[in-house]
Amino acid sequence: MKQIAIVAYQQTDSVSDAGAVNEVELIMPVLARTFKQAGLKSAQDVGFTCSGSCDYLQGAAFAFVAGVDALGAVPPIKESHVEMDAAWALYESMLKIRMGHADSALIYGFGKSSPGELPIVLSQQLDPYYLAPLWVDSISLAAMQARIMLDRGLITERDMAEVVSRSRRNAMNNPHAQLSGDISPEDVLAEETYLSPLRKADCCPVSDGASAMIIATVEQAKAWGLPYVIISGIDHCIETHNLGMRDLTDSVSTRIAANRAGMNAGKVDVAELYAPFSHQEIILTRALGLDEGTSVNPSGGVLAGNLMMASGLSRIGEVFNRIVKGEARRGIAHATSGPCLQHNLVTVLEQGENA
């Protein structure tokens, strides 16, 4: 089986409102930087292109089609799209390469969440008979999940505040972060509750932005002469939509995906976890059995900026960056979708020979 590697990754700043920027204008600069990093000119130079986005975010039907204008798709290219986070576009691209239909792929994700009321937009991904008509927002569902953890003594509010504090402090070294600062757990605890038991700081911000990645077979990466990081495993797993039937204090699907992706075959130096709420980082860390030997969310994670449909790909890109810089040899990246960590994808990344 051909080994597949990441050779380039770029993202925009995470901003609360991208203002007068349409889809193409949001994507094009980050694609240009990604092509430059890989020494390529356009999507003509890769075998496959796949993007992740969701038209409901900005309320523009088929907005992802406009994104194709950023690619240079004349003559026509092999292209696909997932109405999901671009981490799943990476998954599709890997299948395409594994099937022998391409030797390389461009993956990008973008989200402009600022035009709508994101927590309400996300209510419409719920059961259409019993929940969507009630307009149960995504923050309220996470708040109920957090309360179960607090009630059962599985976490304390201080544990949650420590996650926020570490995110803000780590994000001070992340030039793309939207929220960063030298914030202590005490500072967080001093905040009043927002959607009890959550404080505003426990919740990821609403963000606009995009990220992009190029992957290739190891042979192709070597031919290009680029530093590369091997994707040694990837898998994803989903749980029932019925929140009452899930164990919301655990993430069984993340654990299964991680095991299948081969996480436990070696030491995990770094983990980037897609936890839109502070308590969810604790759920994920425990579900994966990570200990002090693993640096968790050194980028600040999505509490520092949540690019819907791109932040899952960004988690993978952040681990790629750490390994390329030599700060880690092996890491995992996690992406999520749906309420209360319903659907989870885990990628295992390992240093290539010349990274």
* Burial letters 64-99, b for 16+ CB under 10 A, else e: beebbebbbeeeebeeebbebbbbbbbbbbbebbee
User: In the block, which residue shows the tokens 């949540």?
Assistant: 306
Judged by CB under 8 A, does residue 21 bind other proteins? Answer: yes
Q: Which one of 3, 15, 79, 144 is in contact with other proteins (CB under 8 A)?
A: 144
Q: Which one of 1, 99, 100, 128 is in contact with other proteins (CB under 8 A)?
A: 128
Residue 260 has a CB neighbour count (10 Å cut-off) of: 14
Distance CA 121, CA 147 (A): 23
Residue type, 59: G
Q: Which one of 52, 119, 298, 331 is in contact with other proteins (CB under 8 A)?
A: 119
Judged by CB under 8 A, does residue 133 bind other proteins? Answer: yes
Q: How far is the CB of 157 from other proteins (least distance, A)?
A: 14
Query: Contacts with other proteins in 156-215 (CB under 8 A)?
Result: 193-198
What are the angstrom distances between the C-alpha of 209 and each of 21, 67, 178, 199, 273?
A: 10, 13, 11, 24, 18
What is the DSSP secondary-structure string of 17-35? Answer: ---S--HHHHHHHHHHHHH
Q: How far is the CB of 156 from other proteins (least distance, A)?
A: 16
Bridge partners of residue 336, in order along the sequence? 344
Judged by CB under 8 A, does residue 70 bind other proteins? Answer: yes
What are the angstrom distances between the C-alpha of 152 and each of 34, 156, 188, 201?
A: 46, 10, 22, 22
Each residue 235-274 as x (binds other proteins by CB under 8 A) or -, in order, gives -----x-xxxx-----------------------------
Region of 111-119, 215-223, 281-289, 295-303 interacting with other proteins (CB under 8 A): 111-119
- What's the sign of the alpha-carbon dihedral 260, 264, 267, 269? positive
Q: How far is the CB of 332 from other proteins (least distance, A)?
A: 27
Region of 53-61, 172-180, 263-271, 274-282 interacting with other proteins (CB under 8 A): 53-61
Q: Which one of 132, 190, 223, 265 is in contact with other proteins (CB under 8 A)?
A: 132
Q: Which one of 3, 16, 37, 42 is in contact with other proteins (CB under 8 A)?
A: 42
Q: Which one of 13, 15, 72, 187 is in contact with other proteins (CB under 8 A)?
A: 72
Q: Are 309 and 333 in contact (CB under 8 A)?
A: no
Rank residues 139 and 229 by Cβ distance to other proteins and give the closer one: 139
Taking each helix axis from N to C end, the angle separating 278-288 and 157-171, rounded to the nearest 10 degrees, works out to: 90
The secondary element (H helix, E strand) that includes residue 70 is: none
Rank residues 80 and 240 by Cβ distance to other proteins and give the closer one: 240
Q: What are the backbone dihedrals phi and psi of residue 74, each rounded to the nearest 5 degrees, phi first? A: -125, 120
Q: Which one of 28, 50, 86, 177 is in contact with other proteins (CB under 8 A)?
A: 28
Q: How far is the CB of 166 from other proteins (least distance, A)?
A: 24
Region of 135-143, 153-161, 264-272, 282-290 interacting with other proteins (CB under 8 A): 135-143
Rank residues 3 and 37 by Cβ distance to other proteins and give the closer one: 37
What are the angstrom distances between the C-alpha of 252 and each of 243, 244, 259, 270?
A: 13, 15, 11, 21
Q: How far is the CB of 98 from other proteins (least distance, A)?
A: 27
Rank residues 31 and 107 by Cβ distance to other proteins and give the closer one: 31
- What's the sign of the alpha-carbon dihedral 271, 26, 236, 157? positive
Distance CA 176, CA 33 (A): 14
The site for other proteins (CB under 8 A) is made up of: 19-25, 28-29, 31-32, 42-43, 56, 58-60, 66, 68-74, 114-117, 119-121, 123-124, 128-137, 139-141, 143-145, 147-148, 151, 193-198, 240, 242-245
